[in-house]
Amino acid sequence: MDDDRIWSFEESLWTADAAHYEESVDDECLMVLPAPPFVFTGKQAIDAVKDTPRWDKVSLTDRQVARPQEGLIVVAYKAEAHKGGDAYLAYCTSTYRWIEHGVWTVVQHQQTPPLTSKGE
């Protein structure tokens, strides 16, 4: 998967409907999200993502792509998502595995909102 397709796919995970998650998120996926229970596995991860807001617009910056071996892609980035008057900022990673020609699924995803000190 070339870089343009990677970033298009990643953006779609922020804006697409629940059916897109069913086909894009692997049954073996592990996720860490900033909401209880924080660590999600398998079907629980798919359900958690399906229940998150569909953002109208997302900007992915500070993009990094690694291909540690054939059939495995790891991305890291800063996401700024918007819907109406709501905004969300997080630093994220996702890992994709190759299933068959043209088909990749998400096997890992994490979101870390910016950390603040106790004084803020």
DSSP 72: E
Position 119 scores a pLDDT of: 57
pTM: 0.89
pLDDT, tens digit (0-9, with 9 covering 90-100), for 48-97: 777 676 899 999 999 999 999 999 999 999 999 999 999 999 999 999 99
115 vs 120: CA distance, rounded Å: 10
> Who's near 6: CB < 8 A, 6+ residues apart?
65, 73, 75, 96
**Amino acid residing at 106:** V
Position 47 scores a pLDDT of: 81
Q: Above 70 in pLDDT, residue 1?
A: yes
